[in-house]
Amino acid sequence: MAPVTIYTTDHCARCVTAKALLGRRGIAYEEINLAKDPDGRAALASRTGMTTFPQIVIGGENLGGLDDLVAADRLGRLKGLRAA
CATH of domain 4-81: 3.40.30.10
Which H, E and C letters describe the chain, residue by residue?
CCCEEEEECCCCHHHHHHHHHHHHCCCCCEEEECCCCHHHHHHHHHHHCCCCCCEEEECCEEEECHHHHHHHHHCCCCHHHCCC
Q: How confident is the model at residue 84 (pLDDT cuts 50, 70, 90)?
A: very low
**Domain residue ranges of the chain, discontinuous segments joined by +:** 4-81
User: How many C-beta atoms surround the C-beta of residue 61 within 10 A?
Assistant: 8
Comparing 84 with 17, the larger pLDDT belongs to 17
* Span 41-55, pLDDT tens digits: 999 999 999 999 999
23-30 average pLDDT score: 95
The pTM for the full model equals 0.92
